[in-house]
Amino acid sequence: MTQTPHLDQINLPSDLRDKSRKELEVICEELRTEVVDAVSTTGGHLGAGLGVVELTVAIHHVFNTPDDKLIFDVGHQCYPHKVLTGRRDRIRTLRQGGGLSGFTKRAESEYDPFGAAHASTSISAGLGFAVASDLDGRGDHAICVIGDGALSAGMAYEAMNNAGALNKKLVVILNDNDMSIAPPVGAMSHYLSKLVSGKPYRSLRKLGKKLVKPMGLEKPVRKAEEYARGFAMGGTMFEELGFYYVGPVDGHDLEVLIPVLENVRDSLDGPVLIHAVTQKGKGYAPAENASDKYHGVSKFNVITGEQAKSKPSAPSYTKVFGDTLTKLAETDEKIVAITAAMPSGTGVSQFADAFPARTFDVGIAEQHAVTFAAGMAADGFKPFAAIYSTFLQRAYDQVVHDVAIQKLPVRFAIDRAGLVGADGPTHAGSFDVSFMGHLPHMVCMAASDEAELARMVLTASEIDDRPSAFRYPRGEGVGVEIPSALTPLEIGKGRIVREGSNIAILSFGTRLQESLKAADMLSAQGLSATVADARFAKPLDHQLISDLARNHEVLITIEEGSVGGFGAFVLHYLADAGHLDSGLKVRTMTLPDIFIDQDKPELMYDLAGLNARHIAEKAISALGRGSVTELNKAAV
């Protein structure tokens, strides 16, 4: 491991407080090396953290964390923060089972005052802390670090508008790593930033206000000052929201950062925005030179930067969606693709390569994405809104009000459905079956393999009288061949995959392969299982469900979703149809009623109780014949 003598002295942020600028610069170099080395062994979000090393060190040096609350937006950039806050000895457990979360997490450390992982929440949370501090009379600070991408979301502006109106002590640091708002303008900008954040300037400003007020010139002078600084430094928009704007400053220069933060700390009497320009991937050449700045990486070679990539045995579901949509759009000019800042993650980037004019990345704005899609659907187009399940939660009102009530044919491509491994509970797609399936008019599908997904994309493209949604997981398909000539599915019709007699297993989505394995296990115990692929949670295939209920002793439903989804819909139908009166034994298998922490996917499914062994045990238990383990022992 690389020697880090200065960093070795830092166990908590308090150890940074008495360090000189030169010592802090060395600590930054060692911290950057430590983060690169750690992520090379775990994988994770690298570029964002490298870009805020100096910023993180400066904040902890100047402010009295954890009494002062440091809130990172999203959390991709929090690895250096974790190293400095007593978690260095566990940093190589990042995103591993039982290890550190890849995001900030309240249960992990008092230095993580607010959990994150979804973008654009920091300013709202920070304002909450600022108001609570004021009500308690504590006088501590709330510091929010938000990226320029996260600042594209409406929630951030709602929070800033409220903060400006309340005029509470709040420090917002805009981490601008794309220079998307304004570039730094050299030494003069740095000088002005230090000047306007300091007590002398602020005192002079107050004196000037007193002088001009009796003359009725207060408003014109204030506007002149705002626009002068806004013209030079890009801050007019923030000033209009009630924030005192400082910047842009070099986010890698401690000689600039520390005085600005100290000035803000010591003279703060309202909301302040510090505009820090940083470089994503800073200090690690492979990241600096990569187009994505090593935003998310697998394990990699520190020397070369080469990432360890396993050769996929089948295309990813995301790629199947992107390829299929692109192919359909070749003959249907009404098809358009919409995503909310995730073009690569959702497969929309493939569509964009072929049809750039019909591709719309709206930024981190899921609410807007859905209503934007609704507007296009209302005007005769076929919008596919490709959004992760966990992010679609942020636009549920728009799904209900703007799409479902108006019965508009928006097609929701719900990526990352189910468990997602290392990203943990914040990114798991656990609830979409329930919240989409409850809506009138909605067609809800789940793909059991990549060929089924391709057919569902086609099916959705042909549904013109109501909204539809199809869900699919992260990762590779199961290796089935996708027909070159696709045919659409019949709406609301499932399929029998394997015929049996004692037990019926009705799968919705990608647990179908585990259901088939369970049927094999049951067969080895002298039991016969039918396996069916529901395909649709809404509308349900009533005929299929009735046939399974009439012809089997046990009916098991299984899904990779929360309680209240597909299994609940089936139970409701069975009860209404009178099938439960016949003595049918029904069992539902869902994700458990907990948030499952990050781990290897197979271990997460084991914890969730959704693997083949669990299905077989559920069936045998329903029959009252003990467990698979007991039967195996008896057979021996």
- List active site positions: 280, 366, 394
User: Largest alpha-carbon pair distance within the chain?
Assistant: 100
Query: Amino acid identity, residue 342?
Result: M
Q: What is the dihedral of CA 191, 194, 198, 203, to 10 degrees?
A: 30
Q: Do residues 173 and 68 touch, judged by C-beta distance below 8 A?
A: no
Strand order in the sheet with 411-415: 359-361, 335-339, 382-388, 411-415, 468-471, 443-446, 536-538
Tokens encoding 39: 């992520």
Burial 452-468 (b: 16+ CB within 10 A, else e): bbbbbbbbbbeeeebbb
Beta strands in 466-535 (DSSP E): 468-471, 495-498, 503-508, 529-533
| Residue 250, helix vs strand vs coil | strand
Looking from the CA of 316 toward its CB, the CA atoms found within 13 Å total 15
The DSSP secondary structure of 189-208, one letter per residue, reads HHHHHHHHHSHHHHHHHHHH
Strand residues in 448-546 grouped as ranges (E): 468-471, 495-498, 503-508, 529-533, 536-538
CA atoms within 13 A on the CB side of 213: 6
- 152 vs 64: CA distance, rounded Å: 30
Residue 606: its H or E element: helix 601-608
Radius of gyration of the chain (CA): 28
Taking the mean position of all CA atoms in its chain, how far away is CA 251? 25
Helix extents (H) in 199-316: 199-212, 218-233, 236-240, 254-267, 285-289
Q: How many whole angstroms separate alpha carbon 497 and alpha carbon 451? A: 14
Look up residue 634 and give its two tokens.
């008896």
Is 491 within 8 Å of 536 (Cβ atoms)? yes
Triad 82, 83, 85: Cα angle to 5°? 65
Query: How many CA atoms within 13 Å lie on the side-chain side of 196?
Result: 24
Q: What is the three-class DSSP state of 319? A: helix
Residue 210 CB neighbours (<10 A): 9
- The rounded distance, in Å, linking the Cα atoms of 132 and 423 is 31
Return the closest-CA partner of residue 541 out of 493, 486, 496: 493
Query: Which 8-state DSSP code applies to residue 552?
Result: -
Q: Please state, as a whole number, how many other Cβ atoms lie within 10 Å of the Cβ of residue 110.
A: 11
Helix (H) or strand (E) segment spanning residue 412:
strand 411-415
- Would you call 243 helix, strand, or coil by DSSP? coil
